Structure formats: structure tokens, C-alpha cells
Amino acid sequence: MVVLKEFRIVMPLSIEEYHIAQMFMVMKMQQQNTTGNEGVEILENRPFEDDGFGQGQYTSKIYRLQSKAPTWLTKLAPEDALVMQEEAWNAYPMCKSVIKCPYFTRFLLTIDTIHKADNGQSENVHGLSEAQLAAREVEIIDIASGVTDYWSYIIGRNDIDLSKFQSARTGRGPLLEGWKDNCAPVMTAYKLVTVDAPYWGFGGKLERALVAGEGALFMESHRNIFAWIDDWYGMTVEMMRELEQQSDLSLNKKLGRYHSNDKMMAQE
């Protein structure tokens, strides 16, 4: 059974600020989660243009994060099978990610994201059909929430209390009760997660686990975006692209992997 869940993450940022903040967050979290044994390997990171998305940035990555897999899954598959391949098309404010697992060939996870300058009240930003809307579950993520669960423990949690945090550079914060309805600027990342794991016996459990894991990842990554605001505020997309190139080389070096485009990036 295909699982369809829409996460709405409201942020005290403008649409333009979020673009920079997201790039910074992805780069920093990839560095934090990459060691000699596990982490993110960058295969491609380049501009793209097509009729569907327009212009944007294409990335191809391999995720080796076996230690974060639930115990029941490690008993079903060998360690080297718990590797994910991701292709992403970031044509901000629209983005699409497709994640596959070579070991489970019929598995497919997609994340379609639309960013809007609102506080999470748009009801069908993805243009879903009536049947899809009936199947869709909606969850609004409050980054100031202190709620924790199994997946937030596995993924890790920024321990900054956003109900007390205030940015030194922007004066934003703390995020007190009802902040989503009263802050300016404000925007929302609408993330539609679709998971299909058509495997008898454990497919449904895998689908539910992955959706829960994505939700915890969205919470952690967006908490980081706001907690790190004084680090990325004032940067430009061009500055972030330069930092991305350096970070991509560093990630592959940590994992002991080198690609043909790494040498080209190092020379630019």
C-alpha cells in the first residue's frame, strides 16, 4: 500500500532567506554525519535545465547511514544493502527528490516540496487529485516543540530550546506558543512524501518507519536552520555554491572516495 503524507514546516524566515538557510543546513548536517565508515557521498552536483522544472541544481548522492536503520530491518538485510541512492532536482521554490535502494529494487520514496510565503494554511499546493487528497495525511511540524520519539533519538536532536533562543543578528525569537500565527516574515515548506515498498510481510512496516523517519529528519533539519541563523544570515546563493563545492570534496575524501568530477571541482 502506498503511503502519502504531507509535512508542513512553518519557518520564521522569508522565502529568499530559506533558500540560503536550507543550502547551509544540508551542507553542515552532511559534514556532521559523515565519517570514514558512514555518511554522504556526492556523485554529482551541477546546474540543470529542463521543460518540467525549469532551471535549478541537480544532485546525485549515496547515503550510507546503516547505524540509523531500525534493528528489525538490519535482521532482514545485510549491512551493505542498507544504502540509499538519491537524485534531487532543486528548482527553488520547487524541489523533487527520488530515493531508491538497490537491494530492495521495488522500493521507491519521493519527496515533492513547494515553498510558500504563508503559515501552513494552503490546502492543496501539490495539486493532488480527489483520490490522492482522500489518501493523504497532513502533519504540521512545530520546530519549537520539545516532543521527542524513537526517530528523533536515532537521527539526533539539536538541544537548543527555541522557546528561549533569540538570534543575535536578526533579533528573531524566541518562538513562543502561537508564534506561527504572529511572526513576520513567515514561510512554509510543504513536503509531500510518497513511499511504496511492495514487499509482503514487512513492506507496510518499512513504509511507516520511513515516513516517521522523514518526519523526524524534517524536524531536526528545520530546527537547525533557525538555530544556525546567525551563521548563514547575510550569505548569498553564489557564496553557498562555492562552499558546497569545497564541502562535496571534503565528504568524498572522508569516505575515501574520489570521482572524476572531484578533480574538476578542485581546480575551479
Q: What is the per-residue pLDDT across 176-231, written as a single tens digit (0 to 9) for each?
A: 999 999 999 999 999 999 999 988 888 888 898 889 989 999 999 999 999 999 99
Average pLDDT score, the chain: 89
Three-state DSSP state, 96: strand
Least confident of 41-45, 107-111, 145-149: 145-149
Distance, in Å, from the CA atom of 131 to the CA atom of 117, rounded to the nearest integer, reads 27
Amino acid 107: pLDDT: 93
The C-alpha torsion from 257 through 260 and 263 to 266, rounded to 10°, is -80
User: Mind giving me the DSSP string for 198-260?
Assistant: --TTTHHHHHHHHHHHHHHHHHHHHHHHHHTHHHHTT--HHHHHHHHHHHHHHHHHHTT---H
Q: Which domains does the chain have, with CATH numbers?
A: 3-23+84-236 (3.30.530.20)
pTM, entire model = 0.91
CB atoms within 10 A of CB 115: 22
Cα gap 187→185, rounded to integer Å: 7
pLDDT of residue 264: 45
- Report the C-alpha gap between 84 and 121 in whole angstroms: 33
Residue 265 — very low, low, confident or very high, per pLDDT cuts 50/70/90? Answer: very low
| pLDDT, tens only, 177-190 | 999 999 999 999 99
User: Could you tell me which residues come within 8 angstroms of residue 247 by beta carbon, excluding any fewer than 6 positions away?
Assistant: 27, 30, 31
pLDDT number for residue 155: 75
Kindly state the average pLDDT of the residues 42-50.
Answer: 95
Average pLDDT for 83-104: 94
Residue 255 identity (one-letter amino acid)? L
**Residue 169: which pLDDT band, with cuts at 50, 70 and 90?**
very high
Residues with Cβ within 8 Å of residue 264, at least 6 apart in sequence:
none
> Between 4 and 65, where is the model more confident?
4
- Which one, of 55, 46, 221, lies nearest residue 151 by Cα? 221
Q: What is the pLDDT of residue 263?
A: 46
Q: Residue 69: pLDDT above 90? A: no
